[in-house]
Structure formats: C-alpha cells, structure tokens
C-alpha cells in the first residue's frame, strides 16, 4: 500500500457521521481492542473477524504472512477475485480481494458489531461520560410532551437483542419513551443503545438537574403567564414533601419525574368547564402523569412496615430506609445522613383519595 494515500477518516467516525447516526458515541479503539468487552459477540455477528477489522481500519494480518491468513480464511464467504472494489477504505486494500456483494455483507456485519459494542460501551465509564457530553449539548433532542418543558432526553432500546425495535427516546421528566421526531432514526436499531443506558445514566449522574426549562419564555402574554402561575401554584400547594428530604428510593425529590404531578396533568375542558370523569369521553389517563404530593409516600418499605409491622418484626431503620434527609440546613447532599426512627406522617393519609385530581365533583362538569 502506498504511503501517498490521503489520510482518511476512520471507519468509526465516518459511521458516526452518517445521517441518522447522530445519537452514536464514537467508541474508543481501546475499548474495542479489549477482548473482554467483546465477549459473546462473535456468535452474534456473521463474518465477525472481517467486521472487526473493518471497524478498526486494520489490514487482515501483518503483510506477506500468507499462510497465516489462509488459515483464518477458512470460511466459504471469502471469495477471491481480481476485481478491485472501489469506495472502500483500507479494508479494500487487502490482498484477498472480495466481491462487492461480499463487502456489503462485511459492511453490514461491521455496523451490527459496532452497534452491539456501542450498547456495552455507553454503559462503561468512558462511554457514559461521552454520552453525558452529547446529552449536555442536546444531541438527543427534547421531550415532545408539553408539560416536560423541553426536558433533554436520551436514546434507549426496548430490547437488548438486535432486529426488534428501532431506537426510542427516554424522557426522565415523565419517565416515558417516545419515537424520535425525524424518520431518519427509524432505521437505527434500538439494541445499539440497549435497555439499560438511560436509567444507568441518571443513576450515575444524580446531580444532573433533569427538570427542563422551567423558566417562562419571554414575550409570553399575560393570559399564558396566568395559566403558568396557576400551574405553579398548584404545584406548590400540592408539594408537601418535607423540605429536608434529599432522596427517596435513591432519587432526589426534584429529579423524580419532575414533569409529573399536580400542575403537569392535562385537564380537559369544554368552554371552560372540566370534562367529568363520568363522561364517556372523560379523562381516564391522569394516573399516568400523577405523582404524590409528598414523594416520601413512595417509600414502600417504610409504608409496608407502618401498615403491617409488629414492633418485634420491624427491621432496623438503617436497614430499610429508602429516604435520606439532610441533617439540618446547609448540609451537603454528599453528607446526607440516614434518618433514624423519625416518624413522618400518620398512616392512611392517602393523597390519591381526596386530591385535587379527583374529577368526581359534579360542579361545572360537562357530561
């Protein structure tokens, strides 16, 4: 191979530069070269060795080591030909030249292999860090849901094995998944991102404020401000989480579905009157966007023992506590301390029952 060939883009960066591949991180070669990271992929990808070489832009073997090469070329897919395929980078400069159809098999194998490695890479330390940078730059877009106020989303797969579903977007504000707005992503396999990535991301970066742009847009008219103010008031009125609680079930209260709960649930109206739940076309899906006013209610372990526990069986608070509170004011989140033996609220205070979400009241309802 002559040294005059111009410096070409690596296979990886050219793959990530393709239209529709904007969600992909560039997997580092170090990661791919560590065999441990590729465990089990050989059986999932046809022409694995060739695909891996293509991804890494390496030539098959050290030059002129014919025998060695032959030994590995024991599968029938390796067709010899003297026709030099064009349009390929270094992989095309191999001595054992392949027919174009063969190359397209390798090319699609390389894409599959890269995708499967990518799924693993983005849950590794360097990979998740790289995705964090893309997240900050809003490379994955924002949630289409109005009440999520342009919260940044992350790619997700609904399946970890390829060939099932295309890539979706996970919104941490409403904890739901959406189809990417642009159809060019409808050819990208969701397995290349996997089911684990977005949740692991938010468990890793607990300091990320996922709320979205809660600030009122400039130039909004008074009426809209009034709506937003009313919503904001509804939120404050219904946020009864004790202010010293720093974590419930491992998540800071302000990061637990911030797009959900009072003020973030669509209330259907006709000429200003609420549509009653009892109407045939009345609301049935509010539960999907609900969140308790006091999120410590989601501490099921404590609730369970509060409701069923005899004093003798009740485990130590240290063992079962899923709620962390800050010890006094100005205590950093890092130094959060387990709350020991503190009683929160009496049992039976069920937010759902008499909450402002209840649409049973007949007043002003159209039915």
Partner 1 sequence: MDDFNSESDSDYTSYWRDWFISSRGNEYFCEIDEEYLTDRFNLTGLNTEIQYYQHALDLVTDVFDFDCDDDMREAIEKSARHLYGLVHARYIVTTRGLAKMLEKFKKSDFGKCPRVICEAQPLLPMGQSDVPNTSPVKLYCARCEDLYNPKSSRHAVIDGAYFGTSFHNILFQVYPAMLPPKSQRRYEPRVFGFKVHAAAALGRWQADEREKMKDRLKDAKIETGFEEEDADEEEEELDDEDDGMEIGDGFANRAPAQA
Distance CA 209, CA 191 (A): 27
CB of 251 to partner 1, least distance (A): 4
By the rule CB under 8 A, 115 interacts with partner 1: no
**Residue 173's binding partner out of partner 1, Zn ion, none, with CB under 5 to 8 Å set by partner kind:** Zn ion
**Residue 298's binding partner out of partner 1, Zn ion, none, with CB under 5 to 8 Å set by partner kind:** partner 1
φ and ψ of 133, to 5 deg: -65, -40
Q: Which of 155, 186, 187 shows the shortest CA–CA distance to 171? A: 155
Q: What are the start-end ranges of the H helices in 239-323? A: 300-308, 317-320
The DSSP call for residue 58 is -
H or E element at residue 133: helix 125-136
Binding residue (CB under 5 A) for Zn ion from 113, 148, 323, 357: 148
**Which residue, 38 or 154, has its beta carbon nearer to Zn ion?**
154
CB of 262 to partner 1, least distance (A): 13
Q: How many CB atoms lie within 10 A of CB 133?
A: 10
φ and ψ of 338, to 5 deg: -65, 135
By the rule CB under 8 A, 305 interacts with partner 1: yes
CB of 322 to Zn ion, least distance (A): 24
* Ramachandran bin of 149, using left for φ above 0, alpha for ψ from -120 to 50, beta for the remaining angles: left
Binding residue (CB under 8 A) for partner 1 from 170, 185, 192, 193: 170
Binding residue (CB under 8 A) for partner 1 from 28, 92, 124, 199: 199
Name, in order, each residue with C-beta under 8 angstroms of 241's C-beta and a sequence gap of 6 or more.
248, 253, 293, 294, 295, 296
Binding residue (CB under 5 A) for Zn ion from 119, 173, 239, 296: 173
By the rule CB under 5 A, 171 interacts with Zn ion: yes
CB of 160 to partner 1, least distance (A): 8
Name, in order, each residue with C-beta under 8 angstroms of 116's C-beta and a sequence gap of 6 or more.
41, 44, 45, 162, 191, 192
Distance CA 278, CA 361 (A): 10
By the rule CB under 8 A, 301 interacts with partner 1: yes
- Residues in contact with partner 1 by CB under 8 A are 144-147, 158, 168, 170, 175-179, 181, 195-196, 198-200, 203, 220-221, 223-224, 227, 247-251, 256-257, 260, 266, 268-272, 275, 277-281, 283-292, 297-301, 304-305, 307-308, 322, 352-353, 357, 360, 366
- Residues in contact with Zn ion by CB under 5 A are 143, 145, 148, 171, 173-174, 259
């Amino acid at each position: 191979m002559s040294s005059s060939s111009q410096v070409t883009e690596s296979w990886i960066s050219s793959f990530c530069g393709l239209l529709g591949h904007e969600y992909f991180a560039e997997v580092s070669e170090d990661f791919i070269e560590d065999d441990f990271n590729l465990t089990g992929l050989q059986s999932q990808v046809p022409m694995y060795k060739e695909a891996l070489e293509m991804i890494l832009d390496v030539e098959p073997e050290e030059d002129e080591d014919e025998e060695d090469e032959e030994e590995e070329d024991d599968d029938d897919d390796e067709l010899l030909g003297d026709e030099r395929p064009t349009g390929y980078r270094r992989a095309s400069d191999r001595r054992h030249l392949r027919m174009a159809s063969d190359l397209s098999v390798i090319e699609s194998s390389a894409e599959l292999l890269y995708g499967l490695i990518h799924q693993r890479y983005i849950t590794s330390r360097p990979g998740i860090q790289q995705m964090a940078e893309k997240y900050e730059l809003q490379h994955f877009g924002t949630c289409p849901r109005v009440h999520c106020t342009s919260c940044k989303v992350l790619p997700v797969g609904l399946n970890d094995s390829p060939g099932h579903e295309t890539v979706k977007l996970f919104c941490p504000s409403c904890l739901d998944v959406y189809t990417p707005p642009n159809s060019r992503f409808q050819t990208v396999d969701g397995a290349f991102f996997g089911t684990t990535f977005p949740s692991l991301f938010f468990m890793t970066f607990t300091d990320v404020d996922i709320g979205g742009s809660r600030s009122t847009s400039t130039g909004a008219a008074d009426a809209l401000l009034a709506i937003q103010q009313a919503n904001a008031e509804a939120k404050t009125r219904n946020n009864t989480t004790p202010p010293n609680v720093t974590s419930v079930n491992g998540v800071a209260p302000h990061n637990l579905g911030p797009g959900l709960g009072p003020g973030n649930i669509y209330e259907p109206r006709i000429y200003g009157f609420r549509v009653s739940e009892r109407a045939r076309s009345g609301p049935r899906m509010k539960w999907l966007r609900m969140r308790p006013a006091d999120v410590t209610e989601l501490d099921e372990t404590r609730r369970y023992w509060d409701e069923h526990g005899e004093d003798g069986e009740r485990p130590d608070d240290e063992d079962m506590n899923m709620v962390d509170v800050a010890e006094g004011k100005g205590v950093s989140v890092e130094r959060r301390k387990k709350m020991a033996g503190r009683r929160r609220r009496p049992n039976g205070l069920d937010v759902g029952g008499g909450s402002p979400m209840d649409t049973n009241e007949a007043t002003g309802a159209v039915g």
